[in-house]
Structures are given as structure tokens and as C-alpha cells.
Homo-oligomer: A and B are copies of this chain.
């Protein structure tokens, strides 16, 4: 089934024996055509748009697992619409949780995936076999110099990756550019002393305009990567950054 160009979504649903089939059928409609069944009798729509209940099994009293498949074409192979298909109108209802999604090879071929991945990060750090050590720079309110001093100590202490706390953005009291400049200079100094590579990932979660500006600037300055909060800047903004920066 995973390679039939259908999206397989497993839902955990609180319901009774009497209601589970209706709830499952309702999800197939709500997540696609969103009209009463009578208004979607068109055969092409029935076959190519509306979801299909593949399996219903009972997990425990009043809890069922329901697998629904969708023609993946309805996602238009873009992430915002994928979210709508997975959890659009049903997000307004209670007792429905998505616990599993299976994508076909064809679906995945529309996305290039992580820009580096864990292998790429290991390559950048030249560490093959041991766990990587990562930590966060904080707290918000420290100056760029104070944060850089902390980054220096962390680098000397053996940390491999230092990321900004998600609260560190482009503040009046700690600007993005000044923080990146100070922190990069601090880890470079530590690297010279220890001979050990350290990566710094500044947080670029910001307004629509500044994300791109900071990503470009950060790359130019030589950061090892970025921190982005995908669900608050938009999942596809993350995909765009990975594909283009």
C-alpha cells in the first residue's frame, strides 16, 4: 500500500462500536470534499478525491485505530495543503488524533529532504562514531558579548553544537548580527586553542522578511546551520530554506 500513490493516515479515535464506522466515513469526507455525501456523487470525485477507510481495529475499550487512505494528488505535493488534508476540519472535533502517516516513494520524491541531515552534520564536525554533544545559548537578556563568553566556555568544555535558545531573536538589546559576530569569533578562538571543531546555529525565527535576510547573512558569516521553529514560521518556509539557502 505504501507505494500505491496513496497517503496512509492512522487515526486513534475515542468512540463506541456503534459510532466508529460513521466517524471514519465522516473523516474521509471532511478532509476532502467537505460536503454532505449527496453532493459528491460524481464518480470521478468518489474515486480520485474522497478518502477511503482501509482498516478499523479496536485498541482498547472505546479507542479505535482507523487507517484512512487518500489519493496523494489532492495534497498538490505541497506542505500547507498536506496539513489541511491530514488535520483540517477534523481538528475542530474532539477525540481524533493522528498517530501515523505513511508516504509513498512518489510523494517523497517531490521533496528534497534535509539540507545536510545527521550525516552531513557529522561530516562538518568530522565526528563519525561518538554521540554529538549539543546545548543552547541562553538566557534571553544577556548581551552578545556575554553570550559569546558562554559559547567560548561551552566550546572549551567539549560541546560540538551550540544553538541559540529559541527566545534569542533580533532584539534591541541583542541584535542578530552582533550576536552571530561575537559567538563565531568566540568559538573560532576556542577552536584555535583546542583544535576541535564547534558549530554555532543562530536562531533565525523572525518576520517573513528577516528570516531570509538573516539566513543569507548568517551563511555569509560562516555559521554551521540555523535554528528555525517550523510550525510558527510555516512548515513550508522551513522547506524553502532547506532548498534555497
Contacts and interface: CB of A to CB of B under 8 A. Distances in A.
Contacts of A33: 138-141, 167
Interface band, chain A: 35 or more
Interface string A64-103: 0000000001101011110111001000000000000000
A220 interface: no
A88 B240 CA distance: 23
B208 A167 contact: no
Given A33-B141, A139-B40, A240 B207 contact: yes
B171 A35 contact: no
B34 A167 contact: yes
9 smallest beta-carbon distances between A and B, as pairs: A234-B234, A33-B139, A45-B141, A49-B141, A208-B240, A78-B207, A80-B232, A233-B234, A83-B232
Contact of A32 (B32, B74, B85, B167): B167
B171 A84 contact: no
Contacts of A76: 169-172, 206
A235 interface: yes
A239 to B, nearest CB: 7
Nearest to A174: B76
Nearest to A172: B73
21 contacts: A32-B140, A33-B139, A35-B138, A40-B141, A42-B141, A48-B141, A73-B172, A76-B171, A78-B170, A79-B207, A80-B229, A80-B232, A81-B169, A84-B205, A84-B229, A84-B232, A207-B239, A208-B240, A232-B235, A234-B237, A237-B237
Interface in A11-28: none
Contact of A138 (B34, B207, B237): B34
A181 interface: no
A153 B20 CA distance: 37
A166 interface: yes
Interface in A41-58: 42, 44-45, 48-49
B234 A167 contact: no
Contact of A234 (B81, B138, B208, B209): B208
A208 B233 CA distance: 11
